[in-house]
């Protein structure tokens, strides 16, 4: 019965990991992360469901810009290309981030060709796409910004009796683009202005655990991983702080100034965003200014922390956010000394192992006691094999007499699961670890290996070694008495190895090193126990 419990507990733990995995990292689900609590989120869902479903926005869908002369803004952080026909964006190439690990890889461009055809950063006034319907003039020209500098491009358009002046301000040291729109009407009227943005895939071919998704900040952060769910549009009433297209590492966001209605729509593999301000009263000849900001760039913690409207909330590590933040802080601290994130992960593992050392020690002592009790347990089973109730009673009495907890060996694993998930989120969502290398080439070869700790081991070497260490750990533990149960237990390393095959290699390194340290700790304990036994003999 004791062995049954241990097998059952081990299986439950594995299932728990699998279920938790599906729960925390669903691939095709609308993920809702509400800081105030799940109940409030459900209430918000119910309220949203009661509202009319947004209809496709014809203006957003038919948005191809007219041909125009490109204007390039170059800063130390990015190169932006706009058209003189209304200031729509055509490219936004990040200088510090490559698309892939290839030496000849281009820089990460947050505006794909498909997205450019939907006129990102186009302005809609009274339902009209100004980049197509207005007549624009500009004296803007190619500009290169030195650190600390800013520049403002001005586009002036006429749309019926309305004069529109767009002022787009680019900063050399920030990924934000600020916009001020001044409207002047020949007659009194009430106008509506919508700032827009568009983005395709932001994953750069590394999408296994890094899907492109839509997000917005209302009362809490909402992420939409299944973009098909917003083909018909999603409307967030006034009060939304920002809307974005994001991956684990990059984000293109609309950040309106003041209240605005946020709209999201996924059409033809492009997600379009709009921040709409309505009820703008225009007196004849009197200018009225409306403002907005865009953020196109990496999800750097320090950078997002200075962005307006709580854009830093886009850095969400889920339920174990605090643990992930703590792991990241420690990783960056260690990296400051060793300048290698792989080595930092190993040092972090040693630190965590030391923190859990007393707990593990207690667990291993319990397991060692169980090992010594094996002959007595076998005798009880043989004696009461047909009377399970009596056998269980004697086994329980045996545990009580020798003060052994059969489940004690599993406790360290259970305690470390939150740390595991926190570190997983930290490794998978930290832009600093994207393309961070550990050992760039397989020893004695020119084969690229562990060159990106946020990606899987391309040759599955580390997960296989990790599985072998789990098997060794299992062999060092007290064996189940029943041969069938022993075979079942043998599958546990196989299951875990399979699960880890596609995990970020940084996470596998963590688990592998943790296993090695655990084996060493357990070996030391067993050796000490053997010495004591010999002395007593």
Cβ neighbours of 358 (radius 10 Å): 9
| Contact (CB, 8 A) for 341 and 430 | no
Residue 489 clears pLDDT 60, i.e. is over it: yes
Residue 421 clears pLDDT 60, i.e. is over it: yes
pLDDT per residue as tens digits for the range 295-330 = 999 999 899 999 999 999 999 888 888 988 998 999
Cβ neighbours of 102 (radius 10 Å): 9
Locus of tokens 């917003």: 230
pLDDT per residue as tens digits for the range 199-220 = 998 886 555 678 899 999 988 8
| Contact (CB, 8 A) for 489 and 324 | no
| Contact (CB, 8 A) for 216 and 32 | no
**Per the structure block, which two tokens stand in for 510?**
């963590």
pLDDT per residue as tens digits for the range 332-366 = 999 999 999 999 999 999 998 898 888 877 777 77
Residue 464 clears pLDDT 80, i.e. is over it: yes
pLDDT per residue as tens digits for the range 64-97 = 888 889 999 999 999 999 999 999 999 999 999 9
Residue 420 clears pLDDT 70, i.e. is over it: yes
Residue 43 clears pLDDT 60, i.e. is over it: no
What's the confidence (pLDDT) of residue 71?
Answer: 97
Compute the distance between CA of residue 304 and CA of residue 255 in angstroms, rounded to an integer: 12
What's the confidence (pLDDT) of residue 31?
Answer: 33
Compute the distance between CA of residue 106 and CA of residue 98 in angstroms, rounded to an integer: 6
What's the confidence (pLDDT) of residue 318?
Answer: 83
Residue 438 clears pLDDT 50, i.e. is over it: yes
What's the confidence (pLDDT) of residue 125?
Answer: 93
Please report, for residues 194, 260, 282, 459, the alpha-carbon distance to residue 290 in angstroms, rounded to integers and kept in the order given.
10, 11, 12, 54
Mean pLDDT throughout 22-37? 39
Compute the distance between CA of residue 114 and CA of residue 134 in angstroms, rounded to an integer: 23
Mean pLDDT throughout 106-129? 92
Compute the distance between CA of residue 444 and CA of residue 461 in angstroms, rounded to an integer: 15
What's the confidence (pLDDT) of residue 34?
Answer: 35
What are the beta bridge partners of residue 193? 125, 277
b or e along 67-84 (b: 16 or more beta carbons within 10 Å of the residue's beta carbon)? ebeebebbbebbbbbbbb
Mean pLDDT throughout 103-122? 92
Residue 232 clears pLDDT 90, i.e. is over it: no
What's the confidence (pLDDT) of residue 273?
Answer: 94
Contacts of 81 (CB under 8 A, 6+ apart): 70, 71, 72, 73, 89, 90, 91, 92
Decide: helix, strand or coil at residue 342: helix
Residue 61 clears pLDDT 70, i.e. is over it: no
Task: List helix spans (H) across 356-460.
Answer: 357-383, 388-402, 411-429
Residue 45 clears pLDDT 50, i.e. is over it: no
- Over the chain, what is the mean pLDDT? 83
Mean pLDDT throughout 229-244? 89
Q: How many residues belong to the chain?
A: 537
Mean pLDDT throughout 116-133? 92
pLDDT above 90: percentage of residues in the chain:
46
pLDDT per residue as tens digits for the range 147-161 = 999 999 999 999 988
Q: 233 vs 44, which has greater pLDDT?
A: 233
Residue 415 clears pLDDT 90, i.e. is over it: no
């Amino acid at each position: 019965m004791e062995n049954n419990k241990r097998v059952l507990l081990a299986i439950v733990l594995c299932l728990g990991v699998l279920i938790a995995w599906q729960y925390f990292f669903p691939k095709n689900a609308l993920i809702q992360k509400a800081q105030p609590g799940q109940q409030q989120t459900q209430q918000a869902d119910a309220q949203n469901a009661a509202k009319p479903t947004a209809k496709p926005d014809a203006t957003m869908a038919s948005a191809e810009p007219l041909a125009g002369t490109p204007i390039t803004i170059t800063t130390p952080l990015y190169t932006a290309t706009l058209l003189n026909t209304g200031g729509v964006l055509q490219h936004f190439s990040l200088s510090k981030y490559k698309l892939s690990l290839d030496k000849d890889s281009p820089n990460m461009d947050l505006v794909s060709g498909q997205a450019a055809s939907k006129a990102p950063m186009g302005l809609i006034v009274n339902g009209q796409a100004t980049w197509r319907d207005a007549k624009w003039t500009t004296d803007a020209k190619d500009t290169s910004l030195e650190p600390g500098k800013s520049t403002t491009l001005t586009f002036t358009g006429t749309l019926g009796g309305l004069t529109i002046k767009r002022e787009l301000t680019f900063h050399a040291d920030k990924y934000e683009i600020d916009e001020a729109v001044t409207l002047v009407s020949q007659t009194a009227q009430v106008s509506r202005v919508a700032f827009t943005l568009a983005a395709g895939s932001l994953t750069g071919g590394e999408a296994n655990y890094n899907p492109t998704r839509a997000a917005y900040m209302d009362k809490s952060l909402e992420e939409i991983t299944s973009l098909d769910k917003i083909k018909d549009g999603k409307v967030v009433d006034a009060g939304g702080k920002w809307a974005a297209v994001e991956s684990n590492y990059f984000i293109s966001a609309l950040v309106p100034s003041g209240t605005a209605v946020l709209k999201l729509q996924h059409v033809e593999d492009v997600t379009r965003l709009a921040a709409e301000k309505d009820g703008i009263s225009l007196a004849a000849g009197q200018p009225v200014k409306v403002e907005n900001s865009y953020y196109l760039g990496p999800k750097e913690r320090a950078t997002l922390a200075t962005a307006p409207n709580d854009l830093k909330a886009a850095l969400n590590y889920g339920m174990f956010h605090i643990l992930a933040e703590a792991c990241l802080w420690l990783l960056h601290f260690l990296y400051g000394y060793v300048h290698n994130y792989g080595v930092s992960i190993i040092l972090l593992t040693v630190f965590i192992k030391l923190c859990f050392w007393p707990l593990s020690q207690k667990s291993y002592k319990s397991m060692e006691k169980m090992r010594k009790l094996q002959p007595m347990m076998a005798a009880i089973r043989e004696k009461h094999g047909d009377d399970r109730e009596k056998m269980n009673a004697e086994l329980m009495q045996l545990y009580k007499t020798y003060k052994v907890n059969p489940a004690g060996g599993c406790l360290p694993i259970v305690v470390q699961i939150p740390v595991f998930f926190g570190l997983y989120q930290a490794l998978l969502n930290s832009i600093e670890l994207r393309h961070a290398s550990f050992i760039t080439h397989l020893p004695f070869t020119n084969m690229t290996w562990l060159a990106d700790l946020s990606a899987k081991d391309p040759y599955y070497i580390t997960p296989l070694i990790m599985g072998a260490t789990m098997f060794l750990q299992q062999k060092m533990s007290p064996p189940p008495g029943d041969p069938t149960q022993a075979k079942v237990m043998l599958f546990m390393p196989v299951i875990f190895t399979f699960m880890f095959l596609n995990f970020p290699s940084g996470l596998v390194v963590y688990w592998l090193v943790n296993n090695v340290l655990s084996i060493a700790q357990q070996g030391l304990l067993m050796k000490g126990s053997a010495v004591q036994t010999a002395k007593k003999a």
